[in-house]
Amino acid sequence: MTHTRPRILVTNDDGVRAPGLKALARALTGFGEVTVVAPDREQSGASHALTLRQPLRIERLESGWYSVDGTPTDCVNLAFFHILKFTPELVVSGINAGYNLGEDTTYSGTVAGALEGRILGAPSLALSTVADADEAQFAVAATVALRMSQEVLSRGLSFDGLLNINVPRAPGGYRVTRQGRRVFREGLLARQDPKGREYYWIGLAPSEWQPDPLADHAAVAAGLVSVTPLHADMTFHPAIPEIRDWGLPSESAHP
Ligand code: MN
């Protein structure tokens, strides 16, 4: 069997019913042979979690659409090894309702879905846009997803990583960026339940960024699509000599 169109796996972390997922799958269908495997409910903030302590179930919703009662990483695993049983030419995760900028990429299930695709051997993209995106905005972001999918499939990605793409409203162009740094403020809200026990909500602080014109957040603030290459190998190579200089006992000399 020959494949004239690229086989594309689409996943997300907003869940299988999310409008961003539908917009993405729609935009890539025709260009590619699209299979959607997505969590059966929202998994935002799931990061790169893999479900190891409970079974997973797959539900076939319609032709080429599947849901899994797990994380985006679970979805990509089941897609590669059970649903597709081959390595797709591309994995695209999104389109997330809400940017994934700076350190947020480390919490992101959207980015993790793409990362898992990369780890399992396919070039991968993560797509995010504004939190209050409507259908028209998702369509704008889906156009970006199609363009970037075509670029990646024609050029390839020579590095061991993925592209994290954030799409603002009415983008005026693209900018290749680096991951920004957040200014962390306390974002914890404590309240009491009806029995008087305290409970907490995390993540209520407004976004504030360390100034950096090359950062992802600066690009979207300037109305540009931010394209950040992320590396799957998190080793910070320049730090290796520094830690070696600590003179920790070597492997041959047991501590
Ligand atoms: Mn999400």
> Does 95 score more than 70 pLDDT?
yes
> Does 152 score more than 90 pLDDT?
yes
Residues 9-54: tens digit of each pLDDT: 999 999 999 999 999 999 999 999 999 999 999 999 899 999 999 9
Q: What does the pLDDT read at residue 186?
A: 79
Q: What does the pLDDT read at residue 202?
A: 86
When the pLDDT of each residue in the chain is averaged and rounded to a whole number, the result is 95
Q: How confident is the model at residue 188 (pLDDT cuts 50, 70, 90)?
A: confident
153 Cα to the center of ligand 1, angstroms: 25
Residues 243-254: tens digit of each pLDDT: 999 999 986 555
13 Cα to the center of ligand 1, angstroms: 5
94 Cα to the center of ligand 1, angstroms: 8
100 Cα to the center of ligand 1, angstroms: 9
Task: Calculate mean pLDDT across residues 181-210.
Answer: 88
Determine contact, residues 164/216, Cβ cutoff 8 Å: yes
Count of alpha carbons within 13 Å of 28, Cβ hemisphere only?
A: 36
What phi and psi values does residue 173 have, to the nearest 5 degrees?
Answer: 155, -165
> Does 82 score more than 60 pLDDT?
yes
253 Cα to the center of ligand 1, angstroms: 48
Q: What does the pLDDT read at residue 252?
A: 58
108 Cα to the center of ligand 1, angstroms: 7
7 Cα to the center of ligand 1, angstroms: 24
Query: Cα separation of 217 and 206, whole Å?
Result: 14
Query: Is residue 27 classed as helix, strand or coil in its secondary structure?
Result: helix
pTM: 0.93
Task: Calculate mean pLDDT across residues 141-159.
Answer: 97
> Does 157 score more than 70 pLDDT?
yes
202 Cα to the center of ligand 1, angstroms: 15
> Does 59 score more than 90 pLDDT?
yes
Residues 206-220: tens digit of each pLDDT: 778 999 999 999 999
Q: Which of 21, 69, 71 is nearest to 46 (CA)?
A: 71
